[in-house]
Amino acid sequence: MKRVLTVALAIAMAASVGVGVAMARAGGTQFVVRTQGTENFEKNALVYATLRFAPQVIQVPTGGTLLFVKRDDAPDEPHTLSIVTKGQLPTSIDEVFNCIVCNKILGEHFPPNSQPVLKVDRDGDGGLNADGDSIMVLPGVNTKISVVITAPAGTTLHYLCAFHPWMQATIQVTS
């Protein structure tokens, strides 16, 4: 009986992974990353956030289009999908609340005396491939945004949300 239960659990897990991959590839040539979760606040008691990227790891071919979609339950929260080097990812609560790279990225999305910038392209190649490249969903402006992955095959792109630096995931660039 234990073995049958183990096999059934393994099949169910494999099926759920397959569904995740199918959802990530929704739209044919577009690969989808979405926001999920919510956040709650109680004065003098609680800050609770389950905001995250889904999937955690996505494979996108070089030249493929990535669609970033806001699907969380925090309607007023903006998000970025910002490329950073692995060493810039916050690893502690102190780093999350004092994210230096996040402040720089947000400064580029919100330049002084100007409209918000939805796409930051540090190297000018039109896509995501370099540290600081970033796209943003901003409530009241957009709920989704797409960009081409221009990094070469074999590259792993680490990214975070500059507003919520605990939101971290990776793009594995394939051929």
17 is a domain residue: no
Range name among 25-29, 93-97, 132-136 with the lowest pLDDT average: 25-29
61 is a domain residue: yes
24 is a domain residue: no
- Cis peptide leading into residue 111 (ω within 30°): no
Question: Domain residues for 66?
Answer: 29-174
Find the mean pLDDT for residues 7-28: 36
- Percent of the residues in the chain that have a pLDDT greater than 70, as a whole number: 83
pLDDT at 133 over 60: yes
Q: What is the pLDDT of residue 73?
A: 97
The CA R_g of the chain, rounded to the nearest whole Å, is 18
pLDDT at 106 over 80: yes
147 is a domain residue: yes
Q: What is the pLDDT of residue 30?
A: 84
Phi-psi region of 126 (alpha: psi -120 to 50; beta: other; left: phi over 0): left
Instruction: Name residue 52's beta-bridge partners.
Output: 36
Q: Quick: pLDDT tens for 49-74.
A: 999 999 999 999 999 999 999 999 99
- The DSSP H or E segment spanning 157 is strand 156-160
3 is a domain residue: no
16 is a domain residue: no
149 is a domain residue: yes
Find the mean pLDDT for residues 5-18: 32
10 is a domain residue: no
**Distances from the Cα of 146 to the Cα of 30, 68, 134, angstroms:** 9, 6, 11
Place 34 in a pLDDT band, splitting at 50, 70 and 90. very high
Number of domains in the chain: 1
Find the mean pLDDT for residues 121-134: 96
Find the mean pLDDT for residues 25-43: 84
CATH code where residue 158 lies: 2.60.40.420
Find the mean pLDDT for residues 125-151: 97
Find the mean pLDDT for residues 90-106: 96
Determine the number of helices (DSSP H) and then strands (DSSP E) in the chain: 3, 13
